[in-house]
Structure 1
Amino acid sequence: MQCYEAILTVTKNDLDDLNHVNNVSYVQWVQNIAKNHWLQKASKSILDTYFWVMVSHFIEYKGEALLNDVIKLKTYITKSEGVKSTRIVEIINERTNELLAKSETTWCLIKSETKKPTRITQDIKNLFLK
């Protein structure tokens, strides 16, 4: 399985009233890295033909992130069958290597023309195996 990574730094806008990263920011990071991974791997033809929608989202919080922490986001696909794909995102403190949160999301592939779920092609599966 192919892994995609990104680095970000926690900003004031990411914080909640307790001065640690807000749950909404974690969800946004999960969505952003999934989108960026897709945009990096897919051809223009595939991007013009398909898009993904999130069907379900589970996140387990294991630690806290604070202002100016450098965060590594690591994502990979664990399963792609039928119209759905399962993506894992690990959110890690870059300095300490502590796992702060782990997310499992289920995404559904949609055909742009019909706006209906469509089977994941082998070409799309292959994008995430390389």
Structure 2
Amino acid sequence: MPHYEKEITVTLDDLDDLNHVNNVRYVQWIQDISKEHWKAKAPESIQDEVVWVVLTHHIEYKSAAVLHDTIHIKTHIESSKGAKSIRIVEMFHSKTNTLILRSSTEWCLLNKVTLKPMRISENIQEIFA
């Protein structure tokens, strides 16, 4: 599966009381890269019709990131079935390539007008294949 990738640098606002990146910030980054991947790949005509919502996040924290660390984030769609899709996000320390975290998020596709779940079309699946 093709990956979507980006790098970010940890700032003071990202830190918790232990001077590590706050867990809430990691969740925000997971959601941010997921949205960016969708917006970068899906045609506007499809984006105008549907919206994704999170059903579950499962996050495994492997190591800590600290101020000024550069983090390489990558994401891909692992699988899709019915209205649900599993998206993987991994974050690595850019200099050491040490895994910081791995997340698996279950997303549900909704009709943008009715907000009811809808089957993921072949067109959408092909965008991320």
Q: CA RMSD in A?
A: 0.5
Letter in 2 for 1:97: N
**Which position in structure 2 is the counterpart of 1:89?**
89
**Which position in structure 2 is the counterpart of 1:37?**
37
Q: Deviations over 1:70-118 (max 9, x none)?
A: 0000101110000000000001000000000000000000011211000
1:127 aligns with 2:119: no
Question: How far apart are the structure 2 equivalents of 1:79 and 1:106?
Answer: 10
Alignment of 1:51-130 (within 5 A): 51-129=51-129
Question: How far apart are the structure 2 equivalents of 1:54 and 1:11?
Answer: 26
**Which position in structure 2 is the counterpart of 1:8?**
8
Letter in 1 for 2:97: N
Letter in 2 for 1:90: E
Count of aligned positions: 129
Structure 1, unaligned runs of 5 or more: none
Question: How far apart are the structure 2 equivalents of 1:42 and 1:18?
Answer: 39
Structure 2, unaligned runs of 5 or more: none
Question: How far apart are the structure 2 equivalents of 1:10 and 1:113?
Answer: 37
Letter in 1 for 2:103: S
Question: How far apart are the structure 1 equivalents of 2:2 and 2:106?
Answer: 17
Question: How far apart are the structure 1 equivalents of 2:102 and 2:38?
Answer: 19
Q: Which runs of 4+ in 1 moved over 2 A?
A: none
Question: How far apart are the structure 2 equivalents of 1:120 and 1:7?
Answer: 29
Q: TM-score, normalised by structure 1?
A: 0.98
Q: Deviations over 1:15-53 (max 9, x none)?
A: 000000000010000000000000000111101000100
Letter in 2 for 1:73: I
